[in-house]
Structure formats: C-alpha cells, structure tokens
Amino acid sequence: MKYDYDLLVIGAGSGGVRAARIAAGYGQKVAICEADQVGGTCVIRGCVPKKLLVYAAQYKKMFSTAKAYGWNIQSQFDWSSLISNKDQEIDRLNGIYLNLLDNAGVELLQGFGAFVDPHTVAVDGDHHTARHILIATGGIPAVPNIPGRDQVITSNEALNLAKLPETITINGGGYIAVEFAGIFNALGVEVNLVYRGQQLLRGFDDEVAAFAQQAFTEAGIRVITNTEIDAVEKTARGLICHAGETGIESDVVLFATGRQANTAGLNLQAAGVDCQANGQVLVNHDQASSTPHIYAVGDVCNNDNLTPVAIKEGHLLVNRLFNDGKEYPEYDFIPTTVFSQPEIGTCGLTEAEARSNHAHIECFTSTFRAMKYAMSDVHEKTFMKLVVNQQTDQVLGIHVVGADAGEMIQGFAVALKQGLSKTQLNKTIGIHPTSAEELVTM
C-alpha cells in the first residue's frame, strides 16, 4: 500500500521534533502535526519559561548578597515586563523550531491529530496516511475532581498570570510545586505550600527532601504538611482552600498535583493502541505500542518525565527504523534537577533505594554555607550526599542541595554512568574555592 508519509508524528514537542528531523534526514517523507506552538511542554509551557521565572526570582538573593560586596543596588520588580519578555523569548524559540522542521524537510500539519484507523490520522478533518506513526503528545497537568476545581490554576496558567498576586496557595509536594513556591516567594508573594504527606519531594533521598523542606520554611514559605485540600471556594475577598476544618485564604490557588498522559481525544481505540489505566500508552522495548507500526516516546508513555529522555527515545527509535540502528535508551543514572530555591541536583540511587538492593551501603554527607554568602546576610546552606556500595566501592548516588546544583550534577553524572568509584573521587583534585570540590573531599 502507498502511504502519504513514511512517518507521521503526532505532537511537536522535543521528542517528536527530534524524531521527525532525524527521520527526514534519512530521506524519509515525514509530517508532524501540532495544535499549538511548536516546541511542546518544555519549550512553550514548561521547563524553559519556568527557568526564566526562576532566574528572575534569584535576583532578590543576588541583590541582597551584592551589599556585602560593596554594591548599593536600588531595585524594583515589574511582573508584566518579565512575562512580556518571557513571551518574546518563547516566540523566538517557537520560530527556531519551525525553521528546524522546515530546513529538515518535515511537513507541519497545523491542527489536532486523531486516529481514524491504524494507518490514518485526521488533522482538522483532513486524512493523512503513514507507514509508521509516532505518538509524542506528552503530558498535561492533572487536577483532582473536587468542588471548586474550576477556580484553580495549573503550572500552565501560572506562567501567564496577568498580575503578581499578594498571596498564593500551592497544592502539591513535587518538583513543580516547590519550584513555583520558590519563584513566588522570592518575588514577594506570601506562599502557602500544602501537601498531603509528611515530607515534600516524595521519591527523593529522605535527607535531601528534609533539608530542602527546612530551607523552604526558613526562606519564608509556609509549608503545611499532612493536609489535603478537598474543596476550593470563591469569596468576595479571594479564594478559600478547605482542608477538613481548616480554611486557607489566598488570592490565587495553584494545583501542582501531578501530570497525566495527553491521550484524550487521540481516538487510540480506532488504531488498536492499548493504554494503562492512567492513560499512558503501553509500549515495549522498541517503543512500539500494541499496534506494531505505531510508537510512542516521552511523557505520554513512560515515568521518566524528562525532556532529554523523550529526545533520546525519539532519536534512537528512528535510527532503528530507518538507519539500521541497534541502540536503545538506558534509564539508569539519569540526572535531574529541581529548580527550587535552593536548587536540588541528583543522580543515581537514594539511600533507601541503595539499601533495598545492596547489603552494605555507606553514606557521606556535608553541610556548609557557600563562600558566596559568607559575608552576606543570606544564611542559605548547601547539603551534599554520596551513596556508596561498600562491597564494590561504586558510587551509586550523588545528591546536592544548593546553588548551581544542576550544573554540578550534570558533570558528575557522566562519571556515575561510567561506574565511578569512591576511590576515584578521592584521587581527584578539587577546584578551590568551589562548592563542587566538597564532592571529592568527603
């Protein structure tokens, strides 16, 4: 059968764009459909705009520190200018992605794509057939079905608020919740961070999570744990979050209660594509769904919801499909960073994970005040932790809470992936004076 395309990608996020570009470079006829701006969650409404807001928020601490170094800075923050400049940058990046697709020879189908049958996708009423189809629609914020859910915003809307609120209640304890809590707190907003569990950042190393939570509290964030919001009520003064007998008032309520696969409306049943109960597409080792010529990459099908993972999956998939590739993604020692304040960088196993898999584990920790803040009234501290297998001497995990944690972890992740030992760390000469040198002297 003759198809319109060799590969049709649904979703022009980072994973889908990479797959489309590489496949077109191998001489395949490729199309990609997208109902929004090209770039996906990360570029348009996620990592990139959020990081720009994080940079803006960090200036408060920088200005405070500057006084100790002889700088007398008079500053005034303007939210509307930040959002306007952020939007211009996102538009610029969208343009770059459009050019990348165009230069690669990928046809952009502007509109929402949905399956008609296993080889056919309808985009705004027009039918397109393809030999291979890739689902790369990512994820969307999940909001629980509680009374008043229509009154809350998600991370999407938080990036585009018309004005900076005086008070905000953030419901959630994961990386998105703590990142926005840090942003708004640093920009002068009174922040309530509400979490149903005892400790924020579930899934992170326990000591890391506890240290970060204490730092958030000391920075002025009102952390409320063991509390679950079961309703949100609009009043003449603002909003009230009801949690049992407790009422929490604020101007804005942001729910950061997880994300779900963006599969609604794709009509996957028409293509015979099976999903998990949470909507994620089920895929095998080859990224193939239950319909063998239909594939999925990124947040729509896995639990490692990280842009570089989606990019790697998409790239290697089309290598195997169109260029005799043999390589598959590897999911061990994936580094990640929470752009909270202070920042959290981590790679490898937590102490609990290590102890559940190995009999003899030794941990090394260090807590100190970074030299940058030594002369200032900023009392933020840095925490570092190494998790080591005593029997093999292999470093199984490195965790950092503090300034530039992500930049440190990216470099050490390379060594961890290659089987770094504690002895090798000890033999490495540190760069003095830096915070990172602590990792080779513990």
pLDDT in tens, 357-404: 999 999 999 999 999 999 999 999 999 999 999 999 999 999 999 999
Residue 25 lies in a domain: yes
Nearest to 44 by CA among 8, 82, 97: 97
Residue 159 lies in a domain: yes
Is residue 399 a contact partner of residue 435, using CB atoms and an 8 Å limit? Answer: no
- Identify the active-site residue in 285, 315, 358, 432: 432
pTM of the model: 0.97
Same domain, 91 and 134: yes
Same domain, 300 and 362: no
User: At 355, is the pLDDT very low, low, confident or very high (cuts 50, 70, 90)?
Assistant: very high
H or E stretch covering 178? helix 175-186
CATH number, domain of 180, equals 3.50.50.60
- Respond yes or no: is residue 119 known to be catalytic: no
CATH number, domain of 435, equals 3.30.390.30
Last residue of a domain, one of 202, 223, 257: 257
Residues of the domain holding 231: 149-257
Dump pLDDT digits (tens) for 152-171. Answer: 999 999 999 999 999 999 99
User: At 1, is the pLDDT very low, low, confident or very high (cuts 50, 70, 90)?
Assistant: confident
Dump pLDDT digits (tens) for 235-264. Answer: 999 999 999 889 999 999 999 999 999 999
- Measured in whole angstroms, the distance separating CA 38 from the mean position of its chain's CA atoms is 18
Calculate helix-pair angle for 47-66, 79-104, nearest 10 degrees.
140
User: At 303, is the pLDDT very low, low, confident or very high (cuts 50, 70, 90)?
Assistant: confident
Pairwise CA distance, residues 388 & 439, whole Å? 13
Tokens (6 digits) for 323 = 């260029």
Same domain, 344 and 427: yes
Other beta carbons less than 10 A from residue 386's beta carbon: 24
Tokens (6 digits) for 6 = 């060799």
